[in-house]
A and B are shown apart, each in its own frame.
Chain A
Amino acid sequence: MNEESIKTALIAGQEKELCDLVKGELSNEESPKSILDTMMAGMNIVGSRFQAKEIFIPEVLFSARAMTSATNILKPLLTKSDVQPLGKVVIGTVLGDLHDIGKNVVGMMLEGAGFEVLNLGRDVAPERFIEAAKENGASIIGLSSLITTSMPQMKRTIELLEEAGLRDQVHVIVGGAPVTQDYANSIGADGYADEATGAVQKVKELLHLEQ
């Protein structure tokens, strides 16, 4: 397999090129799973460049979009064990907050790393996070807040999770421009990151998936 070409097309966000390369590999009878793994390794590079602030939101979105398209080609060919997600994550922006972009980037990076992500959107009530985690058997809830007045909703969600008796089964990670590690600690969140790649690392850490 031409791993370098696949990674290069993915990092450059070249959707059509990447899909063509993937189809080519498939016709060479390359295993769908190893193609997927190569793309994930590529997304990993995108993540570290984003973290180092060498690339920014547009580049990440283009890479994520290319990866999604190429993954759709592979999906029908992957076996059940191939697509076993690393874990299930429910994400959303908390009640009273209409910001969307940063949380979506976190979702894409998590998907790129092999997680199943259920994105509840913005202005999400604490109860909905709990219900969604319960219904889908998610082990992580990711809460985003971009305005200081909506931050207490993060705490409220954690409290509700406790009341529902699920606090031991579900980890809560928090993020967003005004959110800090101190704040995360003060509300009893399990993890905080100041950007999307850090969020993926945090989730892996919490689920003991660190390589």
Chain B
Amino acid sequence: MSNRLLSALGGDSPLVLDGAMGTMLQQLGLGLGECPELWNIKHPDRIREVHKGYLKAGADIIVTNTFGASPKKLAMFGIEEKTEEINRAGAILACEARNLAGKDKTAFIFGGIGPTGELLEPLGAASASDLHQHFKRQTEALVSGGVDAVIVETMLSPEEALIAAGAAKAVDAKLPVFVNLTFDPTPHGPRTMMGTSPADFVVMIENQKIDLQGVGTNCGTGARDMLRVVESYRAKTKLPIVAYPNAGFPKMVNEQTVYDQTPDEFATEAEKLFDAGASIIGGCCGTTPEHIRHLKKKLVQRSPGPIGGGHV
């Protein structure tokens, strides 16, 4: 399975990753303060439907509904003991959706791992070894449910991101692992909340010698600001680059959050991420199956990649 993924990544064609999960679940009735990952057990049918929607829209990769399912995060809802059940169910639901969509041979399942929300020592109370164990537990459950790869996403701390990546590799050294940080634009270029630049992060990855299959960025900004991030990565690494921006910026309309980019605007901006060197492109907050459908349409026209295009 992972061989199929690696050869797909080695090709000239970009892979399309799915769009937002959280905002889709809100539309399906997820309440305020409710744990979204608990729906893997409570409402498996709804999670499967969201995945199917993205697969039908043309996503090559779907990410499991396990972003906040590290034991540390689940503990905030008092359900740490459900870590195995929730993560395993998340992986199985994505696999079932892929089967129902008739895409067993073409689509990939990425197990999503998000930040714990705690700061590492010495800034905060979390120890590296503790976080390693937590992420390992989450990865083991995702792997037992059948994911093809793990994507560590929306990370603000590069140290925490690499602890998660290292923990995933400790579960299975052959498991493909991707790691995304979230950057803000600053006058000095993109930086994480901790001050890390994309170039800094590449150096950290190289120093720690973690065998990543891709590095990238998601959330935080729309595609336009994300372009700088992809360019910075491309200048420093030959690893495949992952990029999934938000659908522009959030606005409140009648107490509902609306992101300001239409599917077509989003796809037009996101296509430029491919030119800048990203090979896995999708959507984050505010994106819907329609956004992904438009993105796929643009990117299919670009396959195989242009000769001498943005790709190193």
Contact segment of A26-34, A52-60, A112-120: A52-60
Q: From A101, which residue of chain B is reached at the shortest CB distance?
A: B119
Q: Which chain A residues border B43 with CB–CB below 8 Å? A: none
Query: When A148-B257, A149-B257, A153-B32 are in contact, do A57 and B76 touch as well, CB less than 8 Å?
Result: no
Q: Least Cβ distance of B120 to chain A in Å?
A: 10
A186 CA to B255 CA in the complex, in Å? 10
Closest Cβ of chain A: how far from B267's Cβ, in Å?
22
A57 to B26, CA, bound (A): 31
User: Among the listed stretches B91-99, B188-196, B205-213, which one makes contact with chain A, having 4 or more residues with CB under 8 Å of it?
Assistant: B188-196
- In the complex, how many angstroms separate the beta carbon of A94 from the nearest chain B beta carbon? 9
Inter-chain contact B250/A178, CB cutoff 8 Å: yes
Contacts of A61 in B (CB 8 A): 119, 123
Chain B contacts for A95, CB-based, 8 A: 32-33
| B257 in contact with A178 (CB, 8 Å) | yes
In chain A between 129 and 156, which residues have their CB closer than 8 angstroms to a CB of chain B? 147-153, 155
Taken together as a complex, chains A and B put the C-alpha atoms of A183 and B256 apart, in Å, by 11
Tell which of B118, B192, B257 touches A151, judged by Cβ atoms closer than 8 Å: B257
Within B242-282, the residues touching A (CB, 8 Å) are 250-252, 255, 257
A123 located at the interface, meaning its Cβ lies under 8 Å from any Cβ of chain B in the complex: yes
State which of A123, A148, A150 has its C-beta within 8 Å of the C-beta of B250.
A148
Number of chain B residues close to chain A: CB under 8 A: 27
- Taking CB atoms, residues of chain B closer than 8 Å to A53 are 186-188, 191
Chain A residues near B123: list those with CB within 8 A: 57-58, 61-62
Asked whether any CB of chain B lies closer than 8 Å to the CB of A21, the reply is no
For the complex, give the distance between the alpha carbons of A59 and B191 in Å: 14
Query: A186 — which chain B residues lie within 8 A by C-beta?
Result: 252
Total contacts A-B at CB 8 Å: 65
B249 nearest CB across to chain A (Å) = 8
A77 CB to closest chain B CB, in angstroms?
28
Distance in Å: Cβ of B152 to nearest Cβ of chain A: 18
Contact in complex: A56, B33 (CB < 8 Å): no
* A55/B33 contact (C-beta < 8 A), A149-B257, A178-B257 known: no
Asked if A160 lies at the interface with its beta carbon under 8 angstroms from chain B, I say no
Q: Are A99 and B195 in contact (CB under 8 A)?
A: no
Question: CA of A151 to CA of B33 in the docked complex: distance in angstroms?
Answer: 12
B117 part of interface (Cβ distance < 8 Å): yes
How many angstroms between the C-alpha atoms of A62 and B195 in the bound complex?
A: 14
CA separation between A155 and B76, bound complex, in Å?
Answer: 24
Report the minimum CB–CB distance from A9 to chain B (whole Å).
17
CA gap between A148 and B255 in the complex, in Å: 10
Q: Does A159 contact B (CB under 8 A)?
A: no
Evaluate whether A151 and B32 lie within 8 angstroms (CB atoms) in the complex, with A57-B193, A61-B123 already known. no
A-B contact pairs, 15 of them (CB 8 A): A52-B187, A54-B188, A56-B193, A57-B194, A58-B195, A59-B195, A61-B123, A98-B73, A148-B252, A149-B26, A150-B32, A151-B257, A152-B255, A178-B257, A186-B252
Q: 11 additional contacts, CB 8 Å, given A58-B194, A98-B117, A178-B250?
A: A52-B187, A56-B195, A96-B33, A123-B33, A148-B252, A149-B26, A149-B257, A150-B33, A151-B252, A182-B252, A183-B252
A: residues with CB less than 8 A from B are 52-59, 61-62, 95-101, 123, 147-153, 155, 178, 180, 182-183, 186
Q: Which 7 A-B pairs have the closest CB atoms?
A: A56-B195, A96-B33, A148-B257, A96-B32, A53-B186, A178-B250, A98-B76
